[in-house]
Structure 1
Amino acid sequence: MENAGEQDAGPPRVRVLGPFEVCAHEGALVLGGTRIRTLLALLTVNAGRVTGVGALVEALWGGDAPPDARRTVRTYVSRARRGLVPLADALGTGELITTHPAGYTLLVPPGLVDAARFERQVTAGREALAASRYAEAREILADALALWRGDAYGEFTAVASLRSEAARLESLRLTATEDRVEAELATGASATLVEELTGLTEREPGRDRLWGQLMIALYRANRQADALDVFSRARTQLVERFGLDPSARLAEIHRQVLDGDPRLLGQRPAQSVVTRLPAPARNDLPGDIPDFAGREPELTRLLSAREKAPDVTVVTAIDGMAGVGKTTLAVHAAHRLAGHYRDAQLFVDLHGHTPGQEPTSPAAALDALLRALDVPADRIPADQHARAALWRAELATRSVLVVLDNAADAAQVRPLLPGSPRSLALVTSRRRLVDLEAADVISLDVLPEADAVVLFTGVVGQARGDAEAASVLDVVRHCGRLPLAIRLAAARLRTRQAWTVRYLARRLQHARWPLAELSAGDRGVAAAFALSYEQLDDARQRMFRLLGVHPGPDFDAPAAAALAALDLADAEQLLESLVDDHLLQQHAPGRYRFHDLLRRHAHTTGLDEEPEPDRRAALRRVVDFHLHTAYHGSRLLDDQHPPINLDPPGCEPWPLEDAEEAMGWFDANHRCVLAARAAAEEQGWDTAVWQLAWTLDNFHYRRGDLHANIACWRAGLAAAERLGDRAAQARAHRRLGLVYAPLGRFSEALDHLGESLRLAEEIGDLLGQAGVHYVLALAWHEQDDHVRALARAFSSHDLYRTLGNTKWETRALSLIGTCYSHLGHHGEARRYCRTALALSLRRKDVYGEADSLESLGRIANDLGEYEKALEHYERALELWRALDNTYRQAGVLSALGDTHRQLADSARARAAWRAAEELYRARELHVAADRVGRSRTG
């Protein structure tokens, strides 16, 4: 890296108040071409904050950005980093440009940039001026102004953002000049200022403060006539160029000159003449909420924001769904913070989500904010960028809190943000302002239950709430713990003395249209939701109302894609956009859900706006999605499970890769598949009803979720009967028999198995017959009738062998060995189980291997070979865990507990039994859990 010569040597610094320069000890650095200099200038404007890649592309190329602009930006950043190495070395730091997911940040010490030093000195000078330390103020402000070497960012006039920053700094420079002149007048200066003020009034004829200062300087120089002539010229300029009359302040100076007011000659001019009279801090904040409840973590963040970053402009964005209490929190926090911002507390409704009203333009909002700071109308420029610069300049030496409420998006807010760390902006929006730079983001969720109760009782009265505490809980739950819903429900109760809280809870629970209950006057939850929906584009509206058709409690992007007949990328983009709009929640990576009240609104909107054939087609697609994905997943879990024939899907199922992924998908989507089965039943799609029961069977068995399996197969049996499908009926009866036996409902199990066998024989289904015999063997085994169990196991084995179904033949061999073991024929038992194990190993049948090892463990235990039993059980447990089969894990853990007890290892026995009991209890298999529990406590 070369330098520009020793003539500019000095301390490290970045200079923007004139020709743009970056200097290390050896002098000004050679930074590179125009675009690299522009990039560095942009990073300097935002020093310490992230500059987005999009903003850099826009600044460097405008509307003519090449396709590879973002990659080129990375190249420029790399070159800029190399160019700044001497500065980093001089500062003793690492790289000065850091990468952020959204862009880049220039990290330089405070005060290294001359513009930052200028602003701090101006602030100090104005504070000294306000404290009547005029000589000190004059020196500080003069030093600040001496930092200027020309036009700020002068070579970058083609870049809008840099042009705006230059205008802001120039406005601050002019204000600082006025303050310096005021300090000089206060120390007795006069004639020496006339020439400077004459030039300033010619360049800035709209600034009445300069005209007034010139009149005072002339009057003190014994040039009363010239002072009066200045007033005449000022009035002409103001009227002809700006259509304004002279201000009251300027008119007062004119009167004092005419009267020869001696106060104009004093070393300390009357405040009514030169200095601004201290006025009470303007406070536009709406009234605080007397029954504000909760939000303590969020309040703590808001109230401590300045302490965490005292040298950074504090901007906090509060987002959340309609009715979650964003404005309430912002106003409450603003009242708590007001004492720290002495100059003004301002509030602007940006109407981003106001019925029947367009969002406020940034230019209009800036006009209102500047007028709130008493900036004269003639000083407010028409151009939005100039207004934004003036706003930041006005805030540079003030301490102001501004609440920007109800923002539509970041573009509306960005020009309104203060640029000085002395001020604070609180922004509220229904949309996540993810592209708002330098913002601390607080996303509000619904209230915790305890805070929701406090809010409700705060509205209806503590006594009334305490009298029906249980019903209060019901009400806030029916309101989804949404603050707006809670307030409206409480308001209705408060105005209806005949109602009880319990009555209100029942109305909310049983109302056909619950959202209609949550309204009062012109406020309502449904109206708030409707407004959020209306501001979506057509694609997001369609996705929102179709998701109201989705039967499950949550969904992922593939399911949403099937529902809306979109490709996956488009569906995911719409879902993420709805999350940003707070119309959806993402409670886990890749999974989405509605707030309960929003789900009802989406459902109602779908009924109102989506044609019934389209709704039905969407529902069919999502049912098909779950059916075909679950079917493929079930085959991955056990490809020997007798297959079924499915109709071609009306959508694209999710391509599961292996059994592990299938179990993960089932775990995440289990309730969705159950809901799809219920929806199919409601629609009369009977084939899908029993097929969905089939798809869930393997998963239910692995998880030991026998009660859910019963519910599915009972619905499946009814559907098969309506269809007259005897093969499906036989399957349903067989699976119900399998599930009822371990639940202790033996007679029901035998009834179903008998009917399954009859139907299988009628239709000549040998595989079904083999399955019935196998399940009957398990059922008799559960009843300790091992003779009958053995006979059925042999029948099953023979049929499977005839059919060439080697995996199920292996399992039948293992079951035969188990039955022999219980009958005391341990040699035969071990022979059959070892044969089963060998076949399983040869065929890489992990399930059969685990099953055989479990049986061998039981045999070894019965023979008193406890160490060998432990070896078999532990290996079987390892395999069942690998298969993620919690039901069989529980059985092995129970057996391990029995074996540890035989070895007098009571601690391990209790631990194994406890683990088995917990697995059984988790699936509500209380008969098995009680049996294990008796072993543990016996």
Structure 2
Amino acid sequence: MTTRYGGNHLDFQGGEFNGPFTVNAGYHDHGPAPTALDALPAPAVGFTGREDELRTLLDALDPRASSEPEMVLVAALSGLGGIGKTALAVEAAHEACGKGWFPGGTLFLDLHGYDDDPVSGEQALEALLRALGVEPEHIPVRADERAALYRSVLAERGRERGAVLICADNASSPEQVRPLLPGDVRHRLLVTSRSKLPQLGARLLPLDELTPQEAYELLERALRIADPADSRVVDETGPAAELAAFCGHLPLALQIAAALLVLDRDKPVAELAAELSEFHDRLVHLDDGERSVRAAFDLSYRRLPPDQARLLRLLSLAPGAEVTTEVVTALTGADTPPIRTLDALARAHLVERGSGRGRWRLHDLVRAFGVGVVAGDVGLREEGEAARQRMLEFYCRWADAADDRLQWLPGKPEPERFSDREEALAWFDGERAGLVAAVSWGKEERFADAAGRLAACLGVYLHWRRYFDDLITVCRAARETAHHTGDNVREAIAWNNLGGALQAAGLAEEAIEAHTRARDLYQAVGDRHREASAWNNLGGALRATGLVEEAIEAHTRARDLYQAAGDRRSEAIAWNNVGRALGQAGLAEEAIEALTRARDLYQAARHPHAEAVTWNNLGTVLRNTGRTEEAIEAHGRALEIYQQFEDWYRAGTTLQNLAFAHKDAHRPAEARAHYLQAADAYTRANAPTEAAAARTAANEILTP
């Protein structure tokens, strides 16, 4: 006897039954296993910005391009922890689905790539097969069989329903992702990772921090979502921009900052910005109890091999926003540049390539993280101090060599390290930010000597390039270091240099005070030669404030001290300044005599650049006395030398003096031409204000 129910049956054939019997039978019609093909998380609340990145990502996901030669099956979105990769991926996935690109559904899987127990490729396949409706007992044990079944099920899904989008979030290695590649070209795989994954043959989309405007909008939107009446960001535009900058325009940090403001409705934005302004404590504040920037970075740091972890720590200690490969090598103490290690950190988005090849930088918050790691361990602090000492000595050697080249005069021994001024200036230009920042290390006793030596090497360069703010910073740092260590001579030198920097920046009254402090310190230690320098510089500051009689006296004191010491070159400097002061006082003949003495001394000392200074000053006095043609000749001699030295600021000044002289001679066309040449020279010298004034003067001249 056989009883059938649909395709199932109860077979009693061959059974022996004695008397009546009852059978309880139940029929179970098994439907298809449930699927999870609409598994996208909700879009991030308050998502803002990223318009260009979103457009690029959608272009890569578009399944309509499946027949194109540059067809994209895999898009890998990578970036620093907290940069907003998942939020952008989810936003793009929702928009793509809204366009109807993936009628077959979406699969979303967090691979937990940076957790202690990341999801393996086999585990990921099992999860995706279940999401696709495969019964657990039908999922193969072997990884290759799982991958084959996964591709087959996806292909069938594609034929029946259309393209599927698979989102693999938070991957840490190609091994996690490679088994998830679909075989059907209709489907797309979107991967997010803190590391670039070039091994996948994917369209690589690195993600940077937000723009300042996008960061501002994120803060504003987050506060408005919590309370539509919260106008603190709009009311405090400046502090909000500062807050965004202190957050490094990193979405995670900005979201935490917004949460802190939401939790404390009475807290001004400026107050939170002030709390974050302290670099060493920044990551302490960027924690809202649930999210932490430090914890996010720590996940990446703990996965680094020892050599990469060490290099990241040392890079966080480097001064300046960027460092060159040579500086990195000095930090590590290695004989060869650690290029492979740098490249590995760049792939992990923990190190970024800087403004040019061979230059590297850290995100501000990554730097703060690295500094915190070092500060928390005695052994790492010792390692870091040794690295900083090596880097300072490297800077001192190279800056000293570059300074020697800038101050070299014909007839003197040729400096070895730099072949010409241009090469020395280029090195200084590339390292300027780091050099200036490293001088401040002199506050720490261990680095005081090297930082002081470094500061002494930067004055000529910074003045030449007219980086007066940097020069003032360096001089003040050197002064504080010398005062802290009780070195009166170095403190006096620093005061004197600071006065020169202040005067160059147009702060003559502050310069008078600085040079006076220098003079008094030199007198106290009995250093008559350096006292002469302070007198000379003091005279220049006095002239700048109109105290001409006092200036003449100061320059004369300097001249007499130099004569007594037999220093003819410095004596020439003093004669030149005496001549300028006499000319300013209206004593033209005495001024011409003094300037002629200075010129002759400079010629005898074979110091052409200083000779040009005197020629230019002499031309000015000659013009003021009506000797116009002689003035033009003197300025022309000065201009020729300045151009040879590529001293474009002084060349601009001289060209302007030539314009004055030609105006006096009633030659407007020549005057206008020299004004325009002066504007060009000032532009090359990074003096835009002077350049604009020269162009205005040229435009005001009416030519026939």
Give the TM-score normalised by the residue count of structure 2: 0.77
1:112 maps to: none
1:333-370: per-residue Cα shift (whole Å, max 9, x none)? 0111122122231112222112x32x222232233334
1:401 maps to: 165
Question: How far 1:300 sits from its partner (Å)?
Answer: 0.7
Aligned match for 2:350, one of 572, 580, 583: 583
Query: Which has the greater radius of gyration?
Result: 1
Any residues of structure 2 matched to 1:340-489 within 5 Å, and which?
A: 340-354=101-115, 356-357=116-117, 359-375=118-134, 381-396=140-155, 398=158, 399-437=163-201, 439-461=202-224, 462-465=228-231, 468-470=235-237, 471-489=239-257
Aligned match for 1:879, one of 635, 638, 644: 644
1:785-827: per-residue Cα shift (whole Å, max 9, x none)? 6966885686587578x4686xx68867877887898734798
1:463-492: per-residue Cα shift (whole Å, max 9, x none)? 313653424434323322211122222233
1:890–1:729 Cα change, 3 Å: farther
CA distance in 1, matches of 2:562, 2:279: 57
1:710–1:331 Cα change, 3 Å: closer
Do the aligned partners of 1:880 and 1:889 also contact (CA within 8 Å) in 2?
Answer: no
1:291 maps to: 46
Any residues of structure 2 matched to 1:722-801 within 5 Å, and which?
A: 723=485, 725=487, 727-729=489-491, 731-742=493-504, 743=506, 744-745=508-509, 747-748=512-513, 751-752=516-517, 754-755=519-520, 758=523, 762-763=526-527, 768=530, 771=533, 775=537, 791=556, 795=560, 798=563
CA distance in 1, matches of 2:384, 2:608: 44
1:491 aligns to 2:220 (yes or no): no
CA distance in 2, matches of 1:639, 1:759: 32
* Gap runs ≥5 in structure 1: 1-250, 256-272, 644-653
CA distance in 1, matches of 2:81, 2:457: 39
Question: How far 1:878 sits from its partner (Å)?
Answer: 2.3
1:365–1:699 Cα change, 3 Å: same
1:326–1:252 Cα change, 3 Å: farther
1:721–1:698 Cα change, 3 Å: same
Question: How far 1:533 sits from its partner (Å)?
Answer: 1.0
Moved more, 902-911 or 427-436: 902-911
CA distance in 1, matches of 2:609, 2:426: 18
Question: How far 1:406 sits from its partner (Å)?
Answer: 0.7
CA distance in 2, matches of 1:639, 1:516: 50
Percent identity for Structure 1 against Structure 2: 29
1:191-212: per-residue Cα shift (whole Å, max 9, x none)? xxxxxxxxxxxxxxxxxxxxxx
2:439 maps to: 677
Question: How far 1:544 sits from its partner (Å)?
Answer: 2.2
1:822-860: per-residue Cα shift (whole Å, max 9, x none)? 7347986896687578668xx6x6635654664575477
CA distance in 2, matches of 1:673, 1:721: 21
Matched residue SS, 1:546: helix
Aligned match for 1:558, one of 300, 304, 326: 326
1:301 aligns to 2:56 (yes or no): yes
Question: How far 1:440 sits from its partner (Å)?
Answer: 1.8
Question: How far 1:254 sits from its partner (Å)?
Answer: 7.1
Higher RCO, 1 vs 2 (CA within 8 Å, ≥6 residues apart): 2
Moved more, 729-738 or 561-570: 729-738
CA distance in 2, matches of 1:753, 1:498: 50
Question: How far 1:500 sits from its partner (Å)?
Answer: 4.6
Do the aligned partners of 1:344 and 1:400 also contact (CA within 8 Å) in 2?
Answer: yes
2:405 maps to: 636
CA distance in 2, matches of 1:624, 1:463: 56
CA distance in 2, matches of 1:504, 1:633: 43
CA distance in 2, matches of 1:382, 1:758: 89
1:280–1:910 Cα change, 3 Å: farther
Do the aligned partners of 2:324 and 2:359 also contact (CA within 8 Å) in 1?
Answer: yes
Do the aligned partners of 1:446 and 1:480 also contact (CA within 8 Å) in 2?
Answer: yes
Do the aligned partners of 2:632 and 2:658 also contact (CA within 8 Å) in 1?
Answer: no
CA distance in 1, matches of 2:242, 2:479: 37
Any residues of structure 2 matched to 1:2-401 within 5 Å, and which?
A: 282-305=37-60, 306=62, 310-311=67-68, 312-338=71-97, 339-354=100-115, 356-357=116-117, 359-375=118-134, 381-396=140-155, 398=158, 399-401=163-165
Question: How far 1:575 sits from its partner (Å)?
Answer: 3.0
1:930–1:467 Cα change, 3 Å: closer
Give the TM-score normalised by the residue count of structure 1: 0.59
Question: How far 1:772 sits from its partner (Å)?
Answer: 5.3
1:253–1:409 Cα change, 3 Å: same
Any residues of structure 2 matched to 1:516-595 within 5 Å, and which?
A: 516-570=284-338, 572-589=339-356, 590-595=358-363
Do the aligned partners of 1:853 and 1:876 also contact (CA within 8 Å) in 2?
Answer: no
Matched residue SS, 1:519: coil
In structure 1, what residue type is equivalent to 2:314? L
In structure 2, what residue type is equivalent to 1:415? P
In structure 2, what residue type is equivalent to 1:414? R
CA distance in 1, matches of 2:474, 2:496: 13
In structure 1, what residue type is equivalent to 2:391? V
Matched residue SS, 1:569: coil
Matched residue SS, 2:254: helix
In structure 2, what residue type is equivalent to 1:577? A
1:729–1:293 Cα change, 3 Å: closer
2:17 maps to: none
Question: How far 1:702 sits from its partner (Å)?
Answer: 0.7
Question: How far 1:601 sits from its partner (Å)?
Answer: 1.6
CA distance in 2, matches of 1:376, 1:252: 23
Do the aligned partners of 2:612 and 2:642 also contact (CA within 8 Å) in 1?
Answer: yes
1:847 aligns to 2:609 (yes or no): yes
CA distance in 2, matches of 1:680, 1:539: 29
Name the Cα RMSD after superposition. Answer: 4.5
CA distance in 2, matches of 1:791, 1:492: 64
1:613 maps to: 382
Matched residue SS, 2:109: strand
Question: How far 1:704 sits from its partner (Å)?
Answer: 2.6
Do the aligned partners of 2:576 and 2:598 also contact (CA within 8 Å) in 1?
Answer: yes
Question: How far 1:426 sits from its partner (Å)?
Answer: 1.1
CA distance in 2, matches of 1:476, 1:779: 41
CA distance in 1, matches of 2:651, 2:65: 51
Matched residue SS, 1:304: helix
Question: How far 1:736 sits from its partner (Å)?
Answer: 4.0
CA distance in 1, matches of 2:271, 2:557: 59
CA distance in 1, matches of 2:375, 2:636: 61
